[in-house]
Structure 1
Amino acid sequence: MPKNSGKKQQTKTSAVKTDRSRLAFLTDVKNKLVKEYNNLTARLGSLLSKGKGLWEEHGAKDEENAAEVAEYQNRLSLEKNLEKAKSEIEEALKKVEAGTYGICQSCGNPIEPERLKILPSATICIACVQKSRGQ
């Protein structure tokens, strides 16, 4: 029996544990992303259905019209933010499927698992975020 066979077996066992751990992590992240995507879709649908008819009756006074315009602008801003969040989650899900999830778009290094747990749609590692902020 070669001297290195024990070390090779240990390395293989360690690699399998790492693969299982990574797979469990990715499964957990994917489930969180899908749940958040569904939540955003529901919120967006609710927002859009409430926005229907917003302009059907204009106020008789300028103040009423100003309030309607402000409400419309707020809804539009919220809609834009929800769409952006959905898009980010869609991209993260594509990366999970492609096997590239958790890789920093800026430097190519792995994104910290702690960061991904907090912000599953993160595309940049903490070091690159800090560099971009001049820290």
Structure 2
Amino acid sequence: MCLSGKFKWFFVLIVSTFSFEDAFSQVLKGCRSGGMIYRNPPTGAFGWTSPLSETCPANATTTTQYTRFVQNTTGSSSCPIGLLSLGGTGVSVDYRLLNCPIDGWIAFLLIPAAFAGILMIRRSQTFKN
């Protein structure tokens, strides 16, 4: 694949954007149970609280947050969930807090990319008479 000088910077920008999706997100501690990661640590009679899903909901926007499981913590101890542990127990984990991807906007990214591709193909073709 040979890209002209004008499109090389665009290609590098797109690849680097998707390659480093969570490179700058901090690894945090939480409690994992049933597809949810609870983010606020225990205080008093409360166990872990403030759950977030490990997947983006169907109606998510780019400002909707979700958690990405990284690994079980060393020793992977069980952790209490909710008031007086009535929410059961989970496993201590490390996670990253991320915003949902732009899946809903992908068509708007593909249309200009397809147009640019068509232009590149048309310009590179040589016609023989």
TM-score after normalising by structure 2: 0.30
TM-score after normalising by structure 1: 0.29
**Structure whose residues are more often strand by fraction:** 2
